[in-house]
Amino acid sequence: MRKTKSIPEGLGRIFPPMAEYDYFLGADLVPFPGCGAEFSLEASWWLSEAAHIAYDRPNLIRNVFRLLGFAGFRFFGNKSTEAFVAHRPGLALVVFRGTEVKSLRSLLDLYTDARFTREAFQGGHVHKGFRDGIFQIWGGGCDDPDPADTWTRKNGMGAYLERLVADDPAMRFFFTGHSLGAALATLGASLFPKATALYTFGSPRVGDRAFNDSVAVNHFRWVNNRDLVPLLPPAELMEKLVKYSYTHFGTEYRLDAAGALVPPFAGRELAAAMTGDLDRFAAAWRDTVGSGEGLKGLLDVVIGRERPQEAPLVEMLLDHAPVQYSVKIWNLLC
């Protein structure tokens, strides 16, 4: 019998890695479904757990997946990008790691860079930081992989996935990740024609409309309540500052504070999440996140050293924690 789960109490206890969290608890009751490109709530839960455990130690991840019946496992790590592939006959999970809360300052710096630096990618443009990240592991460690390079062909994630296809042409490939991992999973799925489906959790905006239109795989995008990261980079502010913006694509599944599925925000997302006054939000953003001292104060709140009400964006950051997604999606299955 399936039983609902609770999110741990305390600001410092809900961000990964979580020593007390029991990954994939209930997997014996909810096996990975035989779905393909169509949406699956069961697959959503499995992939939310995979995106969550990606923050933990590689040896622990490998052991958990072996217990789940995934005999094949390969870890990829280079510079700031980490990912793994867990596979069994007919099924491969391609999972990208996000950013830990202790690195949240660099995460916010990446998402809110005033230059919003973009690079050409797959027929459109994407955030340079995300593009650099996927290239660190996709092509065997090359920052910009050359398909003719021997090292790239033999050692990159892309080559590894191609070998899995050669060994099992019917294998299904599900790409997933949380936060920065979600952005990297999006780019990875766009590079791999055999991708079956893409499930992301708390993903930022990755690229422009031309890039989004080039991605053929079905994208199921989960957003928890007022999670801050899916609002980044802020489309309205990008339009004001640089006259272009990044957009989301795929089908959005939004959870409210209680964990119920609700309709997506309509219109101006930042306004819907924070305030009806965009200029007021821009000032709050600049004062709270745009300065080192403001951001330090925000981080102090997130890790539990201050009271939550002392920072206006704390709730939005807490809604970003991967355990929020794992627990709430599991409870939808109960």
Residue 114 half-sphere exposure toward CB, CA atoms < 13 A:
7
| Residue 127 resides in a domain | yes
H helices then E strands: how many in the chain? 14, 10
Q: Which domain holds residue 292?
A: 11-333
In whole angstroms, give the CA distance from residue 261 to residue 275.
22
pLDDT value at residue 213: 95
| Residue 261 resides in a domain | yes
* 3-11 contacts at long range (C-beta below 8 A, 24 or more positions apart): 3/334, 4/330, 4/331, 4/334, 5/327, 5/330, 5/331, 6/327, 7/323, 7/324, 7/327, 7/328, 8/323, 10/304, 11/301, 11/302, 11/303, 11/304, 11/308, 11/314, 11/318
In whole angstroms, give the CA distance from residue 148 to residue 63.
35
pLDDT value at residue 306: 46
Residue from 273, 274, 275 nearest 262 by CA: 273
| Residue 166 resides in a domain | yes
| Residue 5 resides in a domain | no
Q: How long a stretch of residues is the chain?
A: 334
| Residue 3 resides in a domain | no
| Residue 4 resides in a domain | no
In whole angstroms, give the CA distance from residue 205 to residue 110.
12
Instruction: Supply the pTM of this predicted model.
Output: 0.85
Could you tell me the strand order of the sheet in which 81-88 lies? 72-78, 81-88, 91-96, 172-178, 197-201, 218-224, 251-255, 261-262
Beta-carbon count within 10 A of 283 CB: 12
pLDDT one-digit tens code per residue, 133-162? 898 889 854 445 545 445 545 679 999 999
pLDDT one-digit tens code per residue, 10-19? 555 667 777 7
Place of tokens 């079956």: 196
pLDDT value at residue 297: 45
CATH of residue 85: 3.40.50.1820
Number of domains forming the structure of the chain: 1
Residue by residue, pLDDT tens for the chain (334 residues) are 889 999 877 555 667 777 778 999 999 999 999 999 999 999 999 999 999 999 999 999 999 999 999 999 999 987 678 999 999 999 999 999 987 655 555 555 555 444 457 889 999 999 888 898 898 889 854 445 545 445 545 679 999 999 999 999 999 999 999 999 999 999 999 999 999 999 999 999 999 999 999 999 999 999 998 888 888 877 766 676 667 778 899 999 999 989 999 987 654 454 444 443 444 444 444 444 444 344 444 444 444 444 444 454 667 778 888 999 999 999 999 9
| Residue 297 resides in a domain | yes
- CA geometry: angle at 112 spanning 106 and 114, to 5°? 115
